Structure 1
């Protein structure tokens, strides 16, 4: 039995940014951008957290607070 690994599909309904009121491309690309940023920034943030707690938390929160929202808002579909 083979298990297929696919690309995650994210759907956001109830948005007013397009006539269909659903977004698929933006949230999916946003999730992929979030994952790439998190792989890079979380280890760096953890290292910085050892010396400067506040700055380490900001670095680790960056993918969720800046990357994901900016990508999903930039793509209206």
Structure 2
């Protein structure tokens, strides 16, 4: 039986329930896909250009997760 990730964010004012499930879960899945691609690329780039490699590896956490998670108010 496959394990399906489910992320819950409580205490938000984005909806009347003050709980979000869909946004953080989809954000996590997008983060995982982006990280699987960007972290190896960032590691290779880091060998030659440290700051650029760090930026590439930080991109899923700093940009992808917050943007995708913020799209869904539920």
- TM bucket normalised to smaller: over 0.9
Q: C-alpha separation between the residues in 1 aligned to 2:2 and 2:65?
A: 22
Displacement of 1:5 in angstroms is 2.4
Query: Match for residue 66 of structure 2?
Result: 69
| Structure number with larger C-alpha Rg | 1
Q: Deviations over 1:42-72 (max 9, x none)?
A: 0000000000000000000000000000011
Structure 1: runs of 5 or more not aligned: none
- Secondary structure of the 2:48 match is coil
RMSD between aligned alpha carbons? Answer: 0.6
The size of the alignment, in residue pairs, is 74
- What is the TM-score normalised by the length of structure 1? 0.94
- What is the TM-score normalised by the length of structure 2? 0.97
Misfit runs of 4+, over 4 Å: none
Q: C-alpha separation between the residues in 1 aligned to 2:19 and 2:2?
A: 25
